[in-house]
Amino acid sequence: MYRTIADTKEAILSGKSVSAIVEDGLIKIDSHHHLNAFVEVFSASARIAALEIDKKIKQGSAGKLAGVIIGIKDNICYKGHKVSAASKILNNFESLYTASVLQKLLDEDAIVIGRLNCDEFAMGSTSETSFYGPVKNNINPNYVPGGSSGGSAVAVSAGLCAISLGSDTGGSVRQPASWTNTFGLKPTYGRLSRYGLIAYGSSFDQIGVFANDLEDIKVIFELTYGKDPLDSTSSKASYDVFDKQRPLRIGFLSEYMNHDGLDPEIKKKIELLRTNLQANQIEVSDFSFPYLDHLVPTYYVLTTAEASSNLSRFDGVHFGYRSEKSKGVEETYKNSRSEGFGQEVKRRIMTGTFVLSHGYYDAYYTKAQKVRRLARNATDEIFKNVDILITPTTASTAFELGSVSDPLQMYLQDIFTVHANITGNPAISIPFGQHSNGMPFGLQLMSSCNDEGALLHYAGLLKKYF
């Protein structure tokens, strides 16, 4: 029921009103309350929008997404609605404007049904650090959904909305997509405007899309990419659909496939895909990417540095939560931040402040920037020979809620996804298989920068070789 844009269109064509679609959606969301996917359901504004869109449909002036129900991660601004990044420090804060990407979807008459739960400030891999409590995986509610965009993944996977927006700084769209059997796209850095996305690591952050259908990912990408005067880092690169006459060129990364942490069943299924491709005379090649083990440390040095700067604006004066018991500016800053931020966010602000501090800057920050450049050069080199690289999205399937508490073990959940954020390349996770433990896992495809055309083409084509 309305799991995709096509389902929604079909319902409307068969005479269903958008208002009725919204009512169905609200009932369904209510019956999945236990998953804690939503921080807030925007029932009032969704109902008002539905009435407007029903009128437009009658007049023949409705947009391309008329009646499509979408959800937004709780770090994407929607004017007149609350946004908190799942943090106490922004509890009850209301957006003053709408994110550019969201505005483009609203202009096509999509309906925003609510804001979706996530890790606090998008820092995490399980969606357990939210001020509003953990999100549960709809496939098995004792398991985590992945993170940080866990609510966005679960809402789509459980059919509570057709499309959701998330953000991907190190894997937060692709990793939960892998663990909830959904499609999750992280476009090239700069492809989608970041205006109205609460900043975490600004040189890594990208808004990403979840859907149950690859076609829907394509539709949303094509409607949202492009230069935005409100985000100076947004790119004006063109988007070219893949030329189907081009020979296929696929690469695999040896260090990824041979990584100790990779689950044997996931590995086996990728090897089978490789064999099937070769059996069908499709060219596949293997490449070495020697920086794999350096990626997670590099990512955590650079993103914590950026986060320590980005999160300095939450001081108890300008936005959101203010400590009641403080006197004077200094005490207000200190207490508001101590009381308003959760443990993981504090850990990252402190780490970031440390790596940027005088005397340590060159040893950590400068060095990590150098590794970033090496990784980028090596990746560009590989893409001279192939259109896409195939890797696992995640090393394992989802695990039980509360079972990982060690920060380092948590950080390693992103081992295969941070590459695309460090280098800026686009990447997608597509549903790939079901593990003997009953949980799903995804396959990751990465293409060269701005070649979402190839990425989406191969994502559709590979399925017949699974």
Task: Closer to ligand GLN by CB, 32 or 174: give it.
Answer: 174
Interactions with ligand GLN, residue window 352-371 (CB under 6 A): none
The residue from 168, 213, 231, 306 that contacts ligand GLN (CB under 6 A) is 168
Contact letters for ligand GLN, residues 108-127 (x by CB under 6 A): --------------xxxx--
Q: Give the nearest distance from C-beta 405 to ligand GLN in angstroms.
A: 14
> What is the nearest approach in angstroms of ligand GLN to the Cβ of residue 303?
6
Alpha carbon of 229 to those of 101, 232, 235, 395: distances in Å? 12, 6, 10, 39
Site pattern 135..164 for ligand GLN (x: CB under 6 A): -------------x----------------
Q: Could you give the CA distance from residue 186 to residue 172 in angstroms, rounded to a whole number? A: 9
444 in contact with ligand GLN (CB under 6 A):
no
Q: Are 161 and 351 in contact (CB under 8 A)?
A: no
Residues 191-230 that bind ligand GLN (CB under 6 A): 200
How far is Cα of residue 346 from the mean position of the Cα atoms in its chain? 22
Q: Report if residue 171 touches ligand GLN, rule: CB under 6 A.
A: yes
Residues that bind ligand GLN (rule: CB under 6 A) add up to a total of 14
151's CB contacts (< 8 A; 6+ apart) are: 36, 37, 38, 39, 71, 73, 74, 116, 117, 118, 127, 135, 145, 164
The minimum distance between CB 119 and ligand GLN, in angstroms, equals: 7
Residue 168 or 387 with smaller CB distance to ligand GLN: 168
| Residue 74 within binding range of ligand GLN, rule CB under 6 A | no
Of 4 and 172, which CB lies nearer to ligand GLN in the complex structure?
Answer: 172
CB of 121 to ligand GLN, least distance (A): 8
Q: Which helix (H) or strand (E) holds 69?
A: strand 69-73
Q: Tokens 């959800």 appear where? A: 71
Considering only 71, 159, 170, 352, the residue that binds ligand GLN (CB under 6 A) is 170
CA 138 – CA 36 distance, rounded (Å): 10
For residues 276 and 143, give the distance between their C-alpha atoms in angstroms, rounded to a whole number: 32
The CB-of-122 to ligand GLN minimum distance in angstroms stands at 4
Nearest to 312 by CA among 168, 121, 132: 121
Structure tokens at 253: 């990364």
Name the minimum Å distance from CB 397 to ligand GLN.
Answer: 16
Provide the annotated active-site residues: 73, 148, 172
Residue list 285-314, contact with ligand GLN (CB under 6 A): 303
Q: Using CA atoms, how far apart are residues 240 and 178, in angstroms rounded to an integer?
A: 26
For ligand GLN, the nearest residue by Cβ is: 172
What tokens were used for 207? 């808004």
Q: Which among 207, 200, 195 has a CA at the least distance from the CA of 79?
A: 195
87 part of the interface to ligand GLN, by CB under 6 A: no
**Spatial separation of the C-alpha atoms in residues 56 and 17, rounded to whole Å:** 11
Which residues, 45 to 64, sit near ligand GLN by CB under 6 A? Answer: none
Q: Which is nearer to ligand GLN, 152 or 336 (CB)?
A: 152
The DSSP result for 31-63, as a single string, is: HTGGG--EEEE-HHHHHHHHHHHHHHHHHT---
Query: Which one, 124 or 342, has the nearer CB to ligand GLN?
Result: 124
Residue 414 near ligand GLN by CB under 6 A:
yes
* CA quadruple 154, 341, 197, 126: dihedral, nearest 10: -30
Residue 229 CB, shortest distance to ligand GLN, in Å, is: 25
Which residues in this chain contact ligand GLN in the complex, by CB under 6 A? 122-125, 148, 167-172, 200, 303, 414
